[in-house]
Chain A
Amino acid sequence: MNRKTIILGILFLVFIAIPFFISGFWIRLITYTLMFAILSSSLNIISGFTGYAAFGNMVYFGIGAYSTAVLMNKAGFSYIPALLGAIIIVLIVSILLGILLLRLKGHYFALGSLGAAEAVKYIIDNLTDLTGGGQGITLPMLKGNPAIVNMFFYFFMFFLLICILIVAWRLSQNRLGYAFKAIRANEEAAGVMGIDTTRYKIIAWSLSALFTGITGSVYAYWFSYIDPPTVFDVMWVVKMFVMILIGGAGTVFGPVIGAFILETISELVWSKFIFLHLGILGTLIIIIVMFMPAGLINLVTTGRGFRNIFKKKKEREKAHE
């Protein structure tokens, strides 16, 4: 048992125990933060591991949410079959979009994926008969004691987070993950080495899409109301990118750490300065990008702890002298 395992074990137990000691408001707040941790961890697979800036990743969140809503409302499915249906739809869309867009690189991919996301948003907005259009769509509520319902979604999100973390952890060690990293480092060289880059890129994006789509589906059931501007909001992707940047791109726990830091700050700022909220968030983004582009987790993993950051700074200063 090394120290890392012990810390993770303690954190796991804390997260299991905590909803039994806090009020409904706090449970919802932490559930929301867990949701962002899942989303940024999913984005990390295509962007952090594989190096493709998927600025349109919310398309899978929106499709997951809308498939669930339509299957429950129009086809009369209960939640679990609707979720399975949503997963299948998201996977098919992600493979198709992957074939179409993953041949683009760098900025072009970023814009292409964003364009596709916006196009899907407007299509759903216009299919008024099926999706309710711009007015949004209401889902059947999960009935029962509100306290139990809150717990249900909390543990659902927590379970999903554990799943994506296991996937990310496996990717940091197995062949598939090395293929992703090889593509990020040098796609042409990876191709020459015998990696079928197109296939691996599509796998990476579909994995990312799978978790983003499931999260969208859970979100729809949880909030029981969705509309296109919310579930396709580009702002959310930017928040995920900032979370990844805070925590460290291509790391297993970085996005989760980033999600908790950014959501805590957002919540504090949001409740205190409503009119300055966006400005403060913008300033924060600028500062984070300018001063710690490699992420906080790099500070932790390259040293053995935060203490070493200061020690190292002193060493660097000495070396300069």
Chain B
Amino acid sequence: MLLQAIVNGILFGAVYATIGIGFSLVWGVMGIINLAHGSFIMVGAYLSYTFFSKFGIDPFLSIPVVMLILFGIGYLIQKFLINRVVRGSVFITLTFTFGLQILIANICLLIWSADFHSIKLSYSGVGIEVGGIVIPMVRLVIFIVALVLTGLYYLFMRRTKTGVAISATALNFEGAKTVGINVNHIYAITFGISAALAGAAGALISPIMSFNPFLGGPLIGKAFIIAILGGLGSTIGALAGGMVLGLVETVGTVFLPSAYQELLGFVVLVLVLVFRPQGLLGKRFY
């Protein structure tokens, strides 16, 4: 029971990591808590659902397309909307992105209705049994894809010119401008990447969770917790944060009534903020 919970926690933790990386990237680079991040996850899930139900494409295969679409949406939103308010106070950016979140939720509502949707895969019942622990096939694939995405993101940030330019802008806005980085363009790319990762996370959860347009709110709560646990902008931190949240939720429910699952995450959030605001791994940014 406990071992099974630990395995489930780690498997789902990788998806949490994908959510957290994108969220903490925008926060770290631009100083914006993007409350619309949850709704990008929803859009990703809906796109993956549409590809599956209309064209029969497996959700894992449609991930690149979903990511590309979300990148485009994110890039345009940042370029034409958020870049105008990015230097505003916490107050302004939080309110702004909340407005964005309910607008996107409403658009999803108009396109896909308020009903719950989910994807039924032909292999969703298949599982591997190892020493009494069942590892469902779908969750294993989700775990692997999420890890691959995390790895690719890490390489992108370290090895490509754009990735380094993003880090530079995060570290010193004025300095980055001085050395000729087009900051507005970098911001737009950053937001696009964040949205693409959110979209991928949405596609990943679509086979195992049912979703409706208003699930973005609860999901953003998870993103807060992961980002705070992991510290801003650290890929390894976000991975650790995602795993810890996954474990806290699944292992917690072994000992406590399942109703306390949501509570545990927020208690962890407040405790970490108060006692270790730099995150569990103790890194502020890159």
Q: Mark B76-113, 1 if CB is under 8 A from A, else 0.
A: 00000100110011111011101111111111011000
**Residues B84 and A114 in contact, CB atoms below 8 Å apart:** no
In the complex, what residues of B have CB within 8 A of residue A115's CB? 224-225, 266, 269-270, 273
A279 interface residue per 8 A CB criterion: yes
B99 & A53 in contact (Cβ 8 Å cutoff): no
A219 at the interface (CB under 8 A from B): no
> Do B90 and A107 touch (CB < 8 A)?
yes
List of B residues within 8 angstroms of A281 by Cβ: 99, 102
Interchain CB contact under 8 A, B94 and A110 = yes
Interface pair A238/B98, CB less than 8 Å apart = yes
Number of A-B contacts (CB under 8 A): 127
How many of chain B's residues touch chain A, expressed as a range?
Answer: 35 or more
Which of A51, A55, A277, A281 has the most B CB atoms < 10 Å from its CB?
A55
Segment with Cβ contacts to B, from A122-130, A137-145, A206-214:
A122-130
A289 adjacent to B96 (CB under 8 Å): yes
Residues of the A chain whose Cβ atoms lie less than 8 Å from the Cβ of B102: 278-279, 281-282, 285
Over the window 256-273 of chain B, the binary record of Cβ atoms lying under 8 Å from chain A Cβ atoms (1 yes, 0 no) is 010110110011011001
Question: 0/1 per residue, A278-301, Cβ < 8 Å to B?
Answer: 110111111001100100000000
The interface stretch among A69-77, A98-106, A154-162 is: A98-106
Given A282-B103, A283-B103; A104-B267 close (CB under 8 Å): no
Chain B min CB distance to A24 (Å): 30
A contact residues around B72 at 8 Å (CB): none
Partner of A122, one of B89, B104, B260, B277: B260
Interface pair B273/A290, CB less than 8 Å apart:
no
Q: How far is the CB of A182 from chain B (nearest CB, A)?
A: 17
Residues of B within 8 A of A249 (CB): 91
Q: Is the interface of A mostly helix, strand, loop or mixed?
A: helix
Specify which chain A residues have a CB less than 8 angstroms from the CB of B267 in the assembled complex.
119
A108 within 8 A of B: yes
Q: For B200, what are the chain A residues with a Cβ–Cβ distance below 8 Å?
A: none
Which chain A residues lie closer than 8 Å to B104 at the CB level? 282
Collect the chain B residues with CB atoms within 8 Å of residue A217's CB: none
Q: Report chain B residues within 8 Å CB of A242.
A: 95, 99
Interface residues of A (CB under 8 A from B): 47, 51, 53, 55, 100-101, 103-104, 106-108, 110-112, 114-116, 118-119, 122-123, 125-126, 234, 238, 241-242, 245, 249, 275-279, 281-286, 289-290, 293
Footprint of A on B, CB under 8 Å? 27, 31, 33, 81, 84-85, 88-92, 94-96, 98-107, 109-110, 217, 221, 224-225, 228, 257, 259-260, 262-263, 266-267, 269-270, 273-274, 277
